[in-house]
Structure 1
């Protein structure tokens, strides 16, 4: 009597994972393919862990270029790690996909791994399922034990700083949605800021030991600064005249749109941080070393909340402070 031996066909789900998302590990003991990944933090360090979800129609337009979307899916999580003064090491990726589009997946994976290679992180696991397009990353960073930069460490008298040029991403989104029309060069620059943000990983690590509190600008400068003010139990005063507005004014002729983008637009993933006045020289040297503008935009004092003030210190009206997922 003969018997026939049956070999199970490979699962389409795991074939998809192997095809697009399995690569050699840089610094993980075990990556994708088992029930769990295995990692070993460096001696004397602790893990900084964050998760961010990007949902089609909420966090990105459905027709966003998949290569850029792959980059952004990872970059926004690396920005959170940077905002703790930590160095990103490992990430997991969970995908909900409406179907299997191999061209889309190849481009998405290429963008994701371009970002991973740029910042030296390993993809160590995740999951895939069928459903509305939804992208979720969990990122793991390392920071020397007890040295993480938290939101609640600011002191009265500290100065408030922001890196780079917040507001570009919001202007790019406004152009894509037809709310305003930018010149071609400005449009390309602002849409690139929206779709392919640059997480300030080197800056975040360098600010460890300098910054007293830090957050990344994801929901809007004023809204995110409000988290620092609340956690530190202080009033954050933002000087209207000190805001980095000139480049945005040159990009967009609508002053109201520029103000909204700068103060409430979000999606820039610049770092917003506080530091004592004694750190000014160190920050100037750091700005020069990284080739990145650091803008002093205000100060912290006794009180609560966030105020935009004029040259005389009088509060100015603010139409919108940032994005709220449930408003």
Structure 2
């Protein structure tokens, strides 16, 4: 263990200078100052070894993903990152592991301009446990809330769907070995890209948004519940990632509708915003696909190419019933 124990560990791996105007690591609390006219957006996610990531996960990739999945929540609110905190429980001190984890974490922290300003470290008896809190700012009354979808809205999704789910199935042996497919799919699972720019540009344009962490149907369902409305999805309009090509239809459909770890944005907007959203996607170099409509009522109907409703059993990831 490094000399000095916990505080030397923090200083060695997690202390970085705070930006001007902030008080960061080294005091009882961090101090932040959101811009005038903005609201503070705050989100916390926990990642547990064995449930959310494999014990042999590359620590550098884990450092990136741990922060990325939290930044994705800020993107879904249309917020600009301000800072983050990290609480980490470790079964033992492995300096090589810690250095790689810290490098991955701080690389994305710098890229996203979301400095680490505090947190906690402790020893634990089992595997690694990570808890990250991100803080951001969004212009007052411009946040993309889940309860803001309206009947008649288009439903959109960014990027492609299904690749992370395919990677997980291959790693777990739930699909026949396919090295080429795994190589193409694995980056989607291990190194997600939070859609921060898209989220910020959608603030004031879209009505409601959510990031797809637990599956399209499940996460869209959160919007529908909060907004008290229904949805119609068009299966053929879902942007399937090319790594799904050649897979059995039931696997492909489940990956598209229920596959988690996507971290793309699902959002709703008035039809008059279609051209604006398409232009925005081209400007960002990011595909955006119109995949359905918000309706009055409740629940989701998934329609095939002939307009027939499909029966869908698996809705998405259950954090209490499933693990990696």
Fold conserved between structures, TM > 0.5: yes
Aligned with residue 265 of structure 1, among 259, 263, 270: 259
Contact 2:84 2:114 in 1 (8 A): yes
Q: Structure 1: give runs of 5+ residues left out of the alignment.
A: 1-8
1:237 has 2:232 as partner = yes
Q: How does 1:44-55 map to 2 (within 5 A)?
A: 44-55=37-48
What is the rounded CA distance, in whole Å, between the counterparts of 2:20 and 2:181 in structure 1?
A: 39
Question: Partner of 2:19 in structure 1?
Answer: 26
SS at match of 2:77: coil
Q: Structure 2-normalised TM-score?
A: 0.95
Partners of 2:23 and 2:306 lie apart in 1 by 59
User: Could you tell me whether the CA contact under 8 Å between 2:163 and 2:241 is conserved in 1?
Assistant: no
Cα distance, 1:313 vs structure 2: 3.6
Cα distance change on mapping 1:246 and 1:90 into 2, 3 Å: closer
Contact 2:157 2:290 survives alignment (8 Å): yes
1:27·1:39 contact (CA, 8 Å) conserved in 2?
Answer: no
Where in structure 2 are the equivalents of 1:248-259 lying within 5 Å? 248-250=243-245, 252-259=246-253
CA RMSD in angstroms, aligned pairs only = 1.5
> What residue number does 2:100 align with?
107
**Paired residues, number:** 318
Aligned equivalent of 1:155: 150
Note the alpha carbon deviations across 1:52-73, whole angstroms, 9 max, x for none: 0000011011101000000000
TM-score by length of 1: 0.94
Deviation sequence 1:107-127 (CA, Å, 0-9, x none): 000000111111111100000
Q: Which of 212, 224, 230 is equivalent to 2:207?
A: 212
CA contact 1:72–1:195 (8 Å) conserved in 2: yes
Contact 2:162 2:241 in 1 (8 A): no
Runs of 4+ residues deviating >4 angstroms: none
Task: Quote how far apart the aligned CAs of 1:28 are.
Answer: 4.8
| 2:122 counterpart of 1:129 | yes
Residues 28 and 122, structure 1, Cα contact 8 Å, conserved in 2: no
- Structure 2 unaligned residues grouped into runs of 5+: none
